[in-house]
């Protein structure tokens, strides 16, 4: 049962093959058995899940079911869930029982989905390996010595390990696409503004975007149908028509032009990975797409710009974590500054503190122009690169990551090495474009375990339907998305 996709479960529930309570119970049991190893969940809400499943079954019996009624899924622990711990994987919020639901969460609740719980992540979504979680690292189901990627590592590992068919996630610099690539699943980051950020705990407000983690593009389309909504509570959420993303999955891709940015196919990429990516692109050519080399000349500035913008925004966004109204508070504060400094010093992990400090520094008097303003200007240069490129091509493709999943502990002592992990994903967030990673091959790791390779598809603004269409067509022609870690299949 655990190998079923969202689309299959929806069909099975409709056909009465099994009930929502049955599949929910079966996945809860599986989580209980396997997640000790992966640590992908921070909170499992078994009781609530079963209650939701029961309600869904009743709704179906009453003839009021829709596509999502009774379908199980789980949320990244960055989305506020009313009455349920929402920790953002931080000690700071380790006692924060959210008093309200994120819009994304209410969308799924209203659609009748069953939430199994809250998924592990890098603390406040800052990281590329899921090693900064207060609740411990997550293991990559393909090789438990390796990281699942981050920050949405729990979402990726849970989907890859078949603990849930789909999960919500967020992406600020690659936090959906990189772990999707590392875990061999399909991850979609929509256009900035497509999905409401209300109740999604902010890391960097102008970069954060909620998205999907599933095994197939079809399931991503189903999830996005629920997630995407216009939300008057989020000023940055866009009021624009939302198509039925499943309606165009089977469109022909004949005649589409795929752009290959030369800056993303660098010599230092492993030959094996390059080959896998090029083979995948050849698959699209077989389906009638054309390929064109393009240039995104400011690519090398994306990481530097990101590491000003994101820390600057996070330094302010995390100021509300002060031990006064919620969250961790130090023992016996002597005065107000002591309360702030110790609560925050104790509540935040190292990486979070580093980024807050970088941000505070970049914004401080005398440095604003050199850092923040310059980064915002570079940001426009990067966006302009894409705008120019999309005059010539319909979609851009590249590897999602420069290398497959690395070993736990390998990069923890060198923050900058960790940052470079996001080299292919980060520019999209700066530009606000949609991106998707789909599994497109495998490379053999030392010790013999195969490790998945991700293909990144970059779309023009609000062109999610095209990405999903391309992903689905690829997945009709290939079976990389059906590959599972050896002991889980």
Partner 1 sequence: MEWEVVIGLEIHAQLATKSKIFSGASTEYGADANTQACAVDLGLPGVLPVFNEEALRMAVKFGLAIDAEIGKKSVFDRKNYFYPDLPKGYQTTQLHHPIVGMGHIDIELDDGSTRRINVTRAHLEEDAGKSVHEGFGTMSGIDLNRAGTPLVEIVSEPEMRSAKEAAAYFRKMHSIVTYLGICDGDLSQGSMRCDCNVSLRPKGQEEFGTRTEIKNVNSFRNVERAIEVEIERQMDILEDGGSITQETRLYDADKNETRSMRSKEVANDYRYFPCPDLLPVIIDDNYIEAVRETLPELPDAKRHRFVKDHGLSTTEAAVLASSRDLAHYFETAAHAANDYKLAANWVQADVSAALNRLEISVTELAATAEQLGRILVLIKDNTLNNGGAKEVFNALVEGKGDGSVDCIDSLIDSMGLKQVSDTGAIEAIVDEVLANNQKLVESYLATPVEKRGKAMGPFIGQTRKAAKGVNPQVVMEVLKKKLSELG
Partner 2 sequence: MALEQDQVRNIAELARLQIDENQIGEYQKNLTNILDLVDQLSTADTTGVEPMAHPLDAVQRLRADAVTESNQREHFQTIAPATDNGHYLVPRVIE
Give me the least distance between CB of 351 and partner 2, in Å please: 9
- 243 touches partner 2 (CB under 8 A): no
- 378's contact among partner 2, partner 1, none, with CB below 5 to 8 A by partner kind, is partner 2
| Residue 298's binding partner out of partner 2, partner 1, none, with CB under 5 to 8 Å set by partner kind | partner 2
Strands (E), 107-235: 114-119, 166-171, 186-189, 209-214
Listed ranges 98-106, 128-136, 162-170, 392-400: which one lies at the site for partner 1 (CB under 8 A): 98-106
Tell me if 200 contacts partner 1 by CB under 8 A.
Answer: yes
**153-172: which residues touch partner 2 (CB under 8 A)?**
none
**Does residue 391 touch partner 2 according to CB under 8 A?**
no
Residue 419 near residue 358, CB atoms below 8 Å: no
Which strands form 186-189's sheet, in the order they lie side by side?
41-44, 114-119, 72-76, 166-171, 209-214, 186-189, 435-444, 450-459, 395-399, 257-261, 290-294
Q: Check binding of 230 to partner 1 (CB under 8 A).
A: no
Helix (H) or strand (E) holding 75: strand 72-76
> Per CB under 8 A, does 106 bind partner 1?
no
Does residue 229 carry a catalytic annotation? no
Nearer to partner 1, 214 or 317 (CB): 317
Task: Report residue 210: phi and psi, to 5°.
Answer: -75, 150
Answer yes or no whether residue 326 interacts with partner 1 by CB under 8 A: yes
Helix/strand number for the chain, H first, E second: 15, 11
Of residues 236 and 478, the one with the C-beta less far from partner 1: 236
Segment contacting partner 2 by CB under 8 A, of 54-62, 107-115, 274-282, 428-436: 428-436
Instruction: By CB under 8 A, name the one of 48, 361, 387, 445 that touches partner 2.
Output: 361
Residues in region 367-396 near partner 1 by CB under 8 A = 368, 372
85 sits near partner 1 (criterion: CB under 8 A): no
In whole angstroms, the minimum distance from the beta carbon of 51 to partner 2 comes to 21
Minimum distance from residue 20 beta carbon to partner 1 (Å): 28
What single string gives the DSSP state of each residue in 191-211?
-TTSB--TTB--SSTTT-EEE
- 63 burial (CB, 10 Å; 0-12 / 13-18 / 19+) is exposed
Interstrand relation of 395-399 and 450-459 (parallel, antiparallel or unpaired) = antiparallel
Figure out which of the listed residues 115, 170, 206, 214 binds partner 2, where binding follows CB under 8 A: 206
Q: What is the DSSP string of 406-461?
A: PBTTSSTT-HHHHHGGGTTTHHHHHHT--EEEEEEEEEEPTTS-EEEEEEEEEE-T
Buried-state track 17-53, b at ≥16 Cβ within 10 A, e below 16: ebbbbbbbbebbebbeebbeebbbbbbbbbebbbebb
220 given a catalytic annotation: no
Residues between 292 and 321 with contacts to partner 1, criterion CB under 8 A: 312-313, 315-316, 318-321
**From the CB of 396, what's the least distance to partner 2, in Å?**
16
> Contact, 186 vs 234, CB < 8 A?
no
Binding partner of 102, given partner 2, partner 1, none, CB within 5-8 angstroms per partner class = partner 1
Residue 233, CA atoms < 13 Å, CB-side half-sphere: 11
For residue 26, indicate whether it is catalytic: no
Task: Find which of partner 1, partner 2, none residue 304 binds, CB within 5 to 8 Å per kind.
Answer: partner 2
Residue carrying the six token digits 């699209």: 284
- DSSP lists the bridge partners of residue 44 as 117
State the CB neighbour count (10 A cutoff) for residue 461.
18
Find which of partner 2, partner 1, none residue 224 binds, CB within 5 to 8 Å per kind.
Answer: none
Measured distance CA(156)–CA(340) in Å, rounded: 34
Give yes or no for residue 342 binding partner 1 (CB under 8 A).
no
Which is nearest to 27 in space by CA: 77, 62, 70?
Answer: 70
83 binds partner 1 (CB under 8 A): no
Q: Which residues are at the interface with partner 1 (CB under 8 A)?
A: 79-80, 86, 88, 93, 96, 98-100, 102, 197-202, 204-206, 232-236, 312-313, 315-316, 318-322, 324-327, 336-337, 340, 360, 363-365, 368, 372
Residues involved in catalysis: 76, 151, 175
């Amino acid at each position: 049962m655990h190998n079923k996709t969202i689309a299959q479960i929806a069909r099975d529930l409709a056909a009465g093959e099994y009930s929502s309570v049955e599949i929910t119970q079966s996945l809860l049991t599986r989580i209980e058995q396997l997640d000790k190893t992966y640590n992908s969940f921070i909170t499992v809400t078994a009781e609530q899940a079963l209650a939701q499943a029961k309600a869904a079954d009743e709704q179906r019996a009453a003839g009021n079911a829709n596509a999502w009624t009774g379908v199980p899924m789980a949320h990244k622990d960055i989305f506020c869930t009313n009455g349920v711990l929402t920790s953002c994987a931080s000690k700071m919020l380790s006692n924060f029982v959210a008093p309200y639901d994120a819009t994304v969460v209410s969308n799924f609740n209203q659609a009748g989905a069953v939430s199994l719980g809250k998924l592990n992540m890098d603390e406040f979504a800052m990281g590329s390996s899921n090693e900064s979680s207060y609740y411990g690292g997550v293991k990559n189901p393909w090789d438990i010595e390796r990281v699942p990627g981050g920050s949405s590592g729990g979402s990726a590992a849970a989907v890859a390990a078949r603990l849930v068919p789909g999960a919500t996630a967020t992406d600020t610099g690659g936090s959906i696409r990189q772990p999707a690539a590392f875990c061999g699943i399909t991850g979609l980051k929509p256009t900035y503004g497509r999905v409401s950020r209300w109740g999604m705990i902010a890391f960097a407000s102008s970069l954060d975007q909620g998205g999907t983690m599933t095994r197939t593009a079809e399931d991503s389309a189903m999830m996005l149908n629920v997630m995407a909504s216009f939300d008057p509570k989020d000023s940055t959420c866009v009021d624009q028509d939302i198509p039925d993303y499943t309606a165009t999955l089977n469109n022909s891709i004949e005649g589409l032009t795929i752009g290959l940015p030369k800056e993303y196919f660098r010599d230092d990429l492993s030959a094996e990975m390059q080959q896998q990516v090029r083979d995948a692109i050849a698959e699209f050519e077989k389906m009638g797409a054309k390929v064109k080399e393009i240039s995104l000349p400011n690519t090398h500035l994306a990481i530097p710009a990101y590491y000003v913008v994101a820390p600057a925004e996070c330094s302010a966004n995390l100021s509300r974590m002060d031990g006064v109204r919620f969250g961790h508070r130090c023992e016996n504060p002597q005065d107000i500054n002591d309360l702030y400094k110790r609560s925050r010093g104790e509540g935040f992990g190292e990486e979070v503190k580093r980024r807050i400090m970088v941000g505070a520094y970049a914004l401080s008097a005398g440095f604003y122009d050199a850092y923040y303003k310059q980064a915002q200007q570079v940001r426009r240069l990067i966006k302009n690169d894409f705008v120019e490129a999309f005059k010539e091509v319909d979609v851009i493709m590249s590897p999602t990551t420069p290398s497959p999943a690395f070993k736990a502990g390998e990069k923890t002592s060198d923050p900058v090495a960790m940052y470079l992990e996001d080299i292919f994903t980060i520019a999209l967030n700066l530009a606000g474009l949609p991106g998707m990673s789909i599994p497109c091959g495998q490379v053999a790791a030392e010790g013999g375990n195969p490790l998945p390779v991700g293909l990144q598809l970059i779309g023009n603004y609000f062109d999610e339907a095209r990405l999903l269409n391309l992903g689905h067509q690829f997945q009709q022609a290939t079976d990389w998305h059906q590959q599972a870690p050896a002991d889980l299949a």
